[in-house]
Amino acid sequence: MSTNIITAANMQRKVPQASERPVSAKVAADFLQMHVRSITRLAGAGHIPGHPIGYGQRKKWRFYISELDEWLRAQICSEASRRRQGKGEQVA
């Protein structure tokens, strides 16, 4: 009997589940509501999680939606915390 229990160890895991299939840059761009070129440029710079397939300038990028979702949530949380920190500080 298999149960799907979410534990702290599962939530901190960075590796996508074995059943998850990678998606193209177009699908990733649609998910993040960004342009495909922006997605590949950010992945190439290491700013978003992406996996290159091949070498050189014409390599293809593949993405896992779970990794992008986790990255996006971290961006939202960090932005909100920056705003909260700014409200409590007074300008001298």
- Cα 67 to Cα 16: distance, rounded to the nearest angstrom: 7
Residue 62 β-bridge partners: 51
Taking only the tens place, the pLDDT of each residue in 57-81 is: 889 999 999 999 999 999 887 766 6
| Residue pair 69/78 in contact by the 8 Å Cβ criterion | no
Mean pLDDT of the chain: 80
For position 11, what pLDDT does the model report? 45
Q: What is the DSSP string of 21-83?
A: PPB-HHHHHHHHTS-HHHHHHHHHTTSS--EEESSSTT-EEEB-HHHHHHHHHHHHHHHHHHH
pLDDT at 90 exceeding the cut of 90: no
Average pLDDT over residues 28-40: 97
17 token code pair: 């589940």
For position 1, what pLDDT does the model report? 45
Lowest-confidence region among 12-21, 22-31, 78-87? 78-87
For position 77, what pLDDT does the model report? 73
